[in-house]
Structure 1
């Protein structure tokens, strides 16, 4: 119980419970929604009609340098570029172009609106352009490369013209910006061309000066130089061979001449002939000497002939020796000349190689400069050609068309906003009603807000009986004994009787309420009747001294009652009224009864209750409201079970808590709480968590009964 008392109601409610509570205020919420929707519809009929025309453009960037590859932008960079295009669309220069193009400075509406933008620094057209921008809307279309510009005006044709004019003015502004970029690029290219031209001229001049300085009027040919060296080397080898031969001939001795044969290096035809003659003469001398002796005269002649031949050979040899020496000297000179030519050729070849390397380096530098110059010249040529066909970074994808339906007021949006506002107001009212009144509705409310046990809910006859045959709630239990209405009183009677039975001799069942008009008398009467019809000897005791509701309803003719019994002027048997249909006995209050609660504090009253305990199985006591008078607090300690009635969605929770507090302040307590006058049809729709919320499930059961 303590946990239920300390736990907040919100913590005991799930989503279905909250929705159930919301359904209680559904009529008010629906009324607010319908009212606001109607108001929104009426507003839409009063507001002036405005039309919006929109043109779409596509971002297709073009490089400012002709021939340069198109840079692939990242998604982030592309988004930034498109956002920049949108901002340019909404810029003052573009709007000023539109004003000049359409001559909007003559438009009276815009001239009137431009007064808010007039400053000392702004011209008339700029002020009108500022007024024009107030009705302009430019935005990107989703995440695509498209963006649109829209203009809103009372005249649909004017809206279309201005929207298209903005698109064209934006293109012109973008084109002018691109042209300026091209001019800047062209100026930079011309400056670079001049610089490269100077570098080419300097490189060519360096090549020419090197050629002149190294006597390279033509291209150095290393192959020809190598062929020349090879030829010189061949000739040198031959010259050296000839020189060796000449030296050999020059160094031949006389013995070689005298004794030389035909294989001698100095053999000539003359010398060969002389050598043959000498050999013949020498042979004849030898023959004559051996045959005739030294004194033979022919031997002397032969010897003279031999000496003459030897003298002739000597002379011939000297001539040949001189000739060989001369030849040897000539061969040596030739060899030296060829060796000098070879050294000179090799030196020239080495020089040519070095010069070729340096010249090639200079030529490469010059060629690179010419190539760079030519490439930049081609780019400049393309750039100049591109300037004539330059286009902006965006193109018009779809021009604005004539709007046939107004964009403002947007009736569906207004109706939706009205519905949302109405729903918000309805929910606010529902919240205020829920928190302001704080009526009790379900078993959760009883347990969490009051902290006491819950008995049951008592419905109204109209909501629990299909076709009630009476409008009297107390009589309905007699006419419809098997209905859900009567069964609710049986449940309450059962709960009270079982609680009282736990007390020694417990028979006194008290029924009270915090405030009047909570169904206390009807409940007391109905509980007593269902106990009596159930076979229990039951007495209904009326203790409401001021209203006497039970006595008026069940014993209207009574002239004596409880007061007389306590005063000793009448007995119980004299005052008790018996209801023949149910067997219920009633102890009424006579009209002459006083209003002082002191009669409930007397020993006579205690003795009376003891007698009633002896006579009856159940004594149902109808008391006065707790907060109205002190009677119930005086009676509370006599009850074996006490039910506090709370009218469904009517009795404030504060009043019920105050009643509980007052009862507990006298040392008594409430056994449980019952909800009365519950509309089962409503509760079945919105009483989530309460047993009455399942009335629809039991409707057929009671109907068959």
Structure 2
């Protein structure tokens, strides 16, 4: 069945999630102030007493400096760990000083295992044991200490020493303070100095061990690397010899031969070109009709030059004889034959020169071909060598890598061998611990401050715990958030509105005697909220119920009924609580005819109604003697009765039973115009109210809203943030009590 809710006239106060509501927290602290004060006081007394009753102890402090400017005398890298200059390294050294190993070293060095302050097992004998010894009874032999017990005892001593130790960095410097607390000031200073010395000794020992270990490892590694270098270099040379890759001056013999043949080929090709050019020139001259006299080689030939000289001499003689004698002169003819013979010799010599040029050109071509053939063969060899060089390069790279690795290890071995024996620590003591003159504990100001801080934390924690354990509803805001229904009004606790005074009047009578009081005004506010939240019109028949008994339901029903009647409304209050008969008891009525007689026996309504002379309201009580198990509220007679009441009255108040114990209110609710759910301030569990609300919604009734009852307005004004009552002090003088 669909539930119906009233729409509040004003939107509820909303708070953004995640935003700190300071006023709400202040109100919470004000509400639980005395709890917070009590818990804080107890914690302060207990903790301050405990801290101030501790035995006196003394703290001595030594200071060491991590020397970041220290130079290595041998100008080589150190093998062992050294203190760096960055913050993380300084913090690391602080943790080293806090190590269990260093604490164990100090225990051994200072023989703290024999000191009763650190080893409780060797403390003074118990009182019982001392009395037995005085009476002559021998002490029971102690059981032999097992190895596991010794280890545990040693670990307890280490824990004790570490608990007394304080190691801290001095600001952003490289100075580390080592503090130690003991019952004796001299002992505290001695152990603090022992810690500083043990730390320096440990640093030196670590470096020495690291150097020795490095030397041993490097030496063993060098032996293996030396063999690898020799094997790799031998493999390179062997491969070169097998593949003809021997080289000189960085190049192979084949590459050198190719370079030489390339030079030779260039020379023979130039010579061939020259010879062919001479031959071709001579042949062109002869082909052009020349007798060969103008051929360059002929001109340069000594034989031809000599023959031409002789031919010139003979020509001169021929010319002379021709001028002097006739053509048939014997000497002339002889001279002419000599000239012809010389011309033939010259031509023969020219032909021989041409033939020689051809032969020289042929020789040049043959030389060129020979050099080219040798070059081609050598290039083939080079190609084969290049293919073999791939494997050679791999062998050489392997040899070079092994050689480099061997050299690096050899250099490092020399450095570490030189460094061994001259190790230095990276820290030094700059201020030994001095014997303290005053105890460091108990520190009264610090102890009191700690006790106050703990008291505040405990007090605040108790407030939050109490707030978390609260199950009731305190403010209108909580109602609207928890129930998702409007908050109509809050009915105060009468005594809280009297400013410490007492009233002899009952609350239901107080609204009549003090109509302008804050108590009476709360009922007018409730009625106004119900009327404003109606579905288009003010509800006439209103059922007042609660989740559990004892919520102030009956007082609220009577109070709102009387104030409505005093305001001029024709009002009737109907006692619908068949078991408790709250209204009937409250006004002290003993009727013979009541609600059940009207519903079950058909008694006239007029005979059952009683006038409340104090306020002018009418009452429909219950006969205390009449009982029934019938479902009277679901009967037609009840529907008829409600119709009659609507016709005769302006405002009908139904005082119903609680929702959770009995079903009467759930049955009656749908027949009414509105239902008001009451919850006692800070008492009624929130889950119970939510369950009652669910039951009312399931019945299909119209829920006008919820109201708080018995609200202590004084407390609400101090801690009721989120509710109108939080501002009660601002408007309390407005009422006339």
More helix by share: 1
Change (3 A) 1:397 1:532: same
Call closer, same or farther: CA 1:470–1:52 in 2, change over 3 Å: farther
Preserved CA contact (<8 Å) 1:8 1:448:
no
Aligned-pair distance for 1:63?
Answer: 3.6
Q: Deviations over 1:137-188 (max 9, x none)?
A: 322122123321111223344223432454567678889999999xxxxxxx
Give me the whole-angstrom Cα distance separating, in 1, the residues matched to 2:104 and 2:666: 88
Corresponding residue SS for 1:619: strand
Mapped partners of 1:99, 1:497: distance in 2: 85
| Residues 571/43 of structure 1: CA separation in 2 closer, same or farther (3 Å cut) | same
| 1:534-545 matched pairs, under 5 angstroms | 534-545=567-578
Q: SS at 2:725's partner residue?
A: helix
**1:475-554 map, 5 Å:** 475-499=509-533, 502-503=536-537, 506-554=539-587
Residue 431 of structure 2 corresponds to residue 396 of structure 1 = yes
How do 1:528-677 residues align onto structure 2 when only pairs under 5 Å count? 528-567=561-600, 570-596=603-629, 598-677=631-710
Matched, 1:144 2:173: yes
> Is 1:44 matched up with 2:51?
yes
Find the aligned partners of 1:651 and 1:621 in 2 and give their Cα distance.
21
- The offset of 1:518, in angstroms, is 0.7
Pick closer, same or farther for the CA change 1:525–1:97 going to 2, 3 Å: closer
Does the Cα contact within 8 Å between 2:106 and 2:191 map onto a contact in 1?
yes
Aligned to 1:242: none
Is the 1:545–1:593 contact (alpha carbons within 8 Å) kept by the matching residues of 2? Answer: no
Contact 1:510 1:622 in 2 (8 A): yes
- Corresponding residue for residue 305 of structure 1: none
Q: Distance in 1 between matches of 2:95 and 2:735?
A: 74
SS at match of 2:85: helix
- Aligned 1:430-445 pairs, distance under 5 A: 430-431=467-468, 433-434=469-470, 437=471, 439-445=472-478
Q: Secondary structure of 1:671's partner? A: strand
Cα distance change of structure 1 residues 105 and 516 upon mapping to structure 2, 3 Å threshold: closer
Report the equivalent of 2:264: none
Superposed, 1:299-318 pairs within 5 Å as none
The aligned counterpart of 1:72 is none
Asked if the contact 1:520/1:622 (under 8 Å) is kept, the reply is yes
For residues 87 and 547 of structure 1, what CA distance do their matches in structure 2 show? 75
Residues 1:413 and 2:420 aligned together: no
> CA shift at 1:521, angstroms?
0.4
Please state whether the residue corresponding to 1:406 is helix, strand or coil.
coil
SS in 2 for 1:645: strand
Q: How has the CA–CA distance of structure 1 residues 565 and 530 changed in structure 2, closer, same or farther, with 3 Å as cutoff?
A: same
Q: State whether structure 2 residue 60 is matched by structure 1 residue 53.
A: yes
Question: In the superposition, relative to structure 1, how do residues 596 and 391 fare at CA in structure 2: closer, same or farther (>3 Å)?
Answer: closer
How many Å apart are 1:552 and its aligned residue?
1.5
- The residue that corresponds to 1:154 in the other structure is 183
- Residues 236-275 of structure 1: per-residue CA shift (max 9 Å, x gap): xxxxxxxxxxxxxxxxxxxxxxxxxxxxxxxxxxxxxxxx
C-alpha distance in structure 2 between counterparts of 1:177 and 1:651, whole Å: 72
2:464 is aligned, of 409, 419, 427, to: 427
1:624 deviates by 1.4
Per-residue CA distance 1:403-456 (angstroms, 9 max, x = gap): 42415897343663465356446534542x14xx3x223333323332322211
1:541 Cα deviation after fit: 1.4
Q: Provide the rounded CA distance (Å) in 1 between the counterparts of 2:90 and 2:51.
A: 36
User: Do the aligned residues in 2 keep the contact of 1:22 with 1:430 (CA within 8 Å)?
Assistant: no
Shift of 1:608: 3.1
Whether the aligned pair in 1 keeps the contact of 2:39 and 2:459 (CA below 8 Å) is: yes
Superposed displacement of residue 492, structure 1: 0.9
| Separation (CA, whole Å) in 2 of partners of 1:391 and 1:598 | 96
Q: 1:616 to 1:555 in 2, by over 3 A?
A: farther
Equivalent residues in 2 for 1:260-299 (5 A)?
none
TM-score normalised to structure 2 length: 0.55
Q: CA deviation at 1:31?
A: 4.3
TM-score computed with the length of structure 1 as normaliser: 0.58
2:20 corresponds to which of 15, 19, 28? 15
Matched, 1:77 2:85: yes
Alignment of structure 1 residues 179-328 onto 2, 5 Å? none
Deviations 1:524-545 (A, max 9, x none): 0000111111112211111211
State yes or no: 1:107 paired with 2:112: no
- Alignment size in residue pairs: 491
Aligned-partner SS, 1:55: strand
Partner residue of 1:450? 483
Q: Residues 478-507 of structure 1: CA distance to partner in whole angstroms, max 9, x if unpaired? A: 233222221111011122345558459x52
Secondary structure of the structure 1 residue equivalent to 2:733? helix
**1:691 match:** 724
| CA apart distance, 1:391 | 12
- Tell me the equivalent position of 1:472: 506
Indicate the SS of the match to 2:503.
coil
The answer as to whether partners of 1:9 and 1:445 remain within 8 angstroms in 2 is no
SS of the residue corresponding to residue 549 of structure 2 reads coil
Contact between 2:590 and 2:624, CA under 8 Å: does it hold in 1?
no
Separation (CA, whole Å) in 2 of partners of 1:179 and 1:567: 110
Mark the runs of 5 or more structure 2 residues left unpaired by the alignment: 76-82, 123-143, 211-421
Partner of 2:283: none
Q: Write the deviation string for residues 79-118 of structure 1: whole angstroms up to 9, x where unpaired.
A: 4664576567568998799779867675344566899999
Q: Residue 703 of structure 2 aligns to a residue in which SS? A: coil
1:523 CA displacement: 0.3
